[in-house]
A and B are shown apart, each in its own frame.
Chain A
Amino acid sequence: METDHPVIELRRVSKSFGRQRVLDDIDLQVERGKNTVIIGRSGTGKSVLLKHIVGLLRPDRGEVYFEGQRVDRLHERAWVPIRRQISFVFQLNALFDSMTVLENVAFPMTENTTGRIDREKIRHLAAKCLELVGLTGFEKKRPAELSGGEKKRVALARAIAMDPPPKVVLYDEPTAGLDPQRSDGINKLIRQMQHDFNVTGVVVTHDMRSTAEVGDRVLVLWNGHFVADGTAQEVLQAQEPHVRRFVQGIAEPGDVVTFTA
């Protein structure tokens, strides 16, 4: 059921690890059916933010909402019905080594089916998802036999392998470590998922080309705060010094170490 609420909302979320404050009073509303891209330097808490959305981390302070329901204080078991509506594509893909590609893709459906499992139907749906990402014929392979790009595509297939499809897909560095052509393929898949399944995407990335291609809205995370928010074009052309240097790939003055004899 569609509602007026933003599909995901974070209110004044803070998170620290030891003495390091990673997120500092973050506010975020994710619009339904759009791809929201979060960019920022390594270690600024982008992945931490994603993990708060799906309950893998809990905020020290602040509130997290999914479809208008407050979720940050839910017990682990109460998260299960919410996680059936959210998929997570992990940076390291997190494919299960002990399973075949088909079993990996079928896993969310197998695990989230209550009562008797219709194995044939699940197999068929998983094979369909593999076909969508161009991996027909890879069903019996193990993750260890796949290239980086293939693993990423299996992870994407697993993300959409739900019946009904997920409302939200969280992508953690979906193009990290891939060559430009493979990255382009992944970007197209992200857009395809958005159009074909009306999936809301939250993408965390360092990849500016990916940002421009998949982002309907782009935010820049810097020292625990968002310092820029706009369309991809607006952010990529922003004049705020940190944002401009990040987008152009120029080191911050404090990052440059000079050696003196």
Chain B
Amino acid sequence: MPRSNLVADSLARVGAGTIKGVTQALLNFGRFWVFSGYAASFIPLEMTSARGWRRFLPQCFQIGTRSAPVVMLTGMFIGMVLIVQGWAQFDAANMADRLGAIVIISLCQELGPVLAGVMLAGRAGGALTAELGTMNVTEQLLALRSMGADPIRYLVTPRFVACVVLTPLLTAYADLMGTLGAWGVYVLVFQGQSEPFWYNARQTVEMWDLNSGLFKSIFFGAAIGLVSCYKGFHCKPGAEGVGQACTQSFVTSFILILMLDLFLGFLLNGVYSAWFGFRSLV
């Protein structure tokens, strides 16, 4: 085959592959939003019926109670390590008593919600995808439909609501444990004074810091719930299909959490600047 034909052929193949890939991605994106909207449309019905609550409460236990220890542990270690990393610089600048406040703000605004979200995506999100994926490949979703039950209402809506409600709660736990961990290392390891730590924290940390983190975590929870359920519902057959769906679910949730964090960060900073003006932390 002449070289020019070979190049044209390869380019055509790459072009066709790209178009197919982009079309597929757009289709999946559209399907995801239809799926999400459909799941959200059942919230009023589910949350106002006894049957809905019977489906919702066990999910709160699975998603919230079972994830609490790992989220709290993560928050605590992050608080501790931030003090370890920041101590030398702040001490050299003679501002060690300000370190606690800075760490608490970092935890409440960014690290608490993001790390709680990531831990939740790994632990609860993975479990949701695996459970729904297994139900999918063993025809349990079809069985639900064949018995007149809507699988999205029955399975997705309670899980989605549980994720939205419990992610902020778990984030609050992570913030609390991170603060206590930071204080512990500050006082016990670096022999810092407890009183200036809390005094500066009270002076610097605002309710806005805590609330903005919790506000973001609502979106992280929604992303985790919807992505995990969507991946489970659309997984390929077999054990490999379920495994792939779990991996995709975690990776997609993780990336979505980071993207949402960026955009919500812009939004919240803009709102803060417009209402309260500039704030100096040092």
Minimum distance in angstroms from B213 CB to a CB of chain A:
33
- Cβ of A112 within 8 Å of any chain B Cβ, yes or no, is yes
Decide: B149 and A90 in contact? CB cutoff 8 A: no
Interface string of A85-119 (1 = CB under 8 A from B): 01110111011110000000001100110000000
Minimum distance in angstroms from A79 CB to a CB of chain B:
7
- Cβ of B140 within 8 Å of any chain A Cβ, yes or no, is yes
- Cβ of B9 within 8 Å of any chain A Cβ, yes or no, is no
The 8 Å CB contact of A88, one of B134, B143, B149, is B143
In B117-172, which residues have CB < 8 Å from any A CB?
A: 134-135, 138-140, 142-143, 145-150
**Residue of chain B at shortest CB distance from A172:** B139
Decide: B148 and A94 in contact? CB cutoff 8 A: no
What is the number of residues of chain B that contact chain A, defined by CB distance less than 8 Å? 13
Minimum distance in angstroms from B155 CB to a CB of chain A:
10
Decide: A94 and B143 in contact? CB cutoff 8 A: yes
**Residue of chain B at shortest CB distance from A79:** B148
**Residue of chain B at shortest CB distance from A85:** B148
Decide: B142 and A56 in contact? CB cutoff 8 A: yes
- Cβ of A84 within 8 Å of any chain B Cβ, yes or no, is yes
- Cβ of A179 within 8 Å of any chain B Cβ, yes or no, is no
Would you call the interface of chain A mostly helix, strand, loop, or mixed?
mixed
The 8 Å CB contact of A54, one of B134, B135, B139, B146, is B146
Decide: B142 and A90 in contact? CB cutoff 8 A: yes
Decide: A107 and B147 in contact? CB cutoff 8 A: yes
- B145 partner residues in chain A, CB cutoff 8 A: 55-56, 76, 83
Minimum distance in angstroms from B127 CB to a CB of chain A:
12
What is the number of residues of chain A that contact chain B, defined by CB distance less than 8 Å? 25
- B139 partner residues in chain A, CB cutoff 8 A: 90-92, 94
Decide: A80 and B148 in contact? CB cutoff 8 A: yes
Decide: A92 and B148 in contact? CB cutoff 8 A: no
The 8 Å CB contact of B138, one of A84, A86, A94, A107, is A94
Minimum distance in angstroms from A116 CB to a CB of chain B:
9
Residue in B138, B139, B147 with the greatest tally of chain A CB atoms within 10 Å:
B147
Query: How far is B102's CA from A213's CA once the two chains are assembled, in angstroms?
Result: 78
Decide: B148 and A88 in contact? CB cutoff 8 A: no
Decide: B149 and A111 in contact? CB cutoff 8 A: yes
Query: How far is B140's CA from A90's CA once the two chains are assembled, in angstroms?
Result: 9
Interface string of B184-196 (1 = CB under 8 A from A): 0000000000000
Decide: A84 and B140 in contact? CB cutoff 8 A: no
Decide: A83 and B142 in contact? CB cutoff 8 A: no
- A90 partner residues in chain B, CB cutoff 8 A: 139, 142-143
**Residue of chain A at shortest CB distance from B150:** A76
Decide: A111 and B148 in contact? CB cutoff 8 A: yes
- A92 partner residues in chain B, CB cutoff 8 A: 138-139
Decide: B150 and A83 in contact? CB cutoff 8 A: no
Asked, given contacts A92-B138, A94-B138, whether A112 binds B143 with beta carbons under 8 Å apart, the answer is no
Decide: A84 and B142 in contact? CB cutoff 8 A: no
The 8 Å CB contact of A112, one of B134, B142, B148, B150, is B148
- A108 partner residues in chain B, CB cutoff 8 A: 147-148
Interface string of A184-213 (1 = CB under 8 A from B): 000000000000000000000000000000
Q: Which residues of B contact A (CB under 8 A)?
A: 134-135, 138-140, 142-143, 145-150
A-B contact pairs, 14 of them (CB 8 A): A56-B145, A76-B145, A79-B148, A83-B146, A88-B142, A88-B146, A90-B142, A90-B143, A91-B139, A92-B138, A92-B139, A96-B135, A107-B149, A108-B147
Beyond the given A92-B138, A94-B138, A96-B135, please list 19 additional residue pairs across the A-B interface where CB-CB is below 8 A: A54-B146, A76-B150, A80-B148, A81-B148, A83-B145, A83-B146, A84-B148, A88-B143, A88-B146, A90-B139, A91-B139, A94-B139, A94-B140, A96-B143, A97-B134, A107-B147, A107-B149, A108-B147, A111-B147
Q: Which residues of A contact B (CB under 8 A)?
A: 51, 54-56, 76-77, 79-81, 83-84, 86-88, 90-92, 94-97, 107-108, 111-112
Top-10 shortest CB links A-B: A94-B143, A88-B146, A94-B139, A83-B148, A80-B148, A108-B147, A111-B149, A90-B139, A94-B140, A54-B146
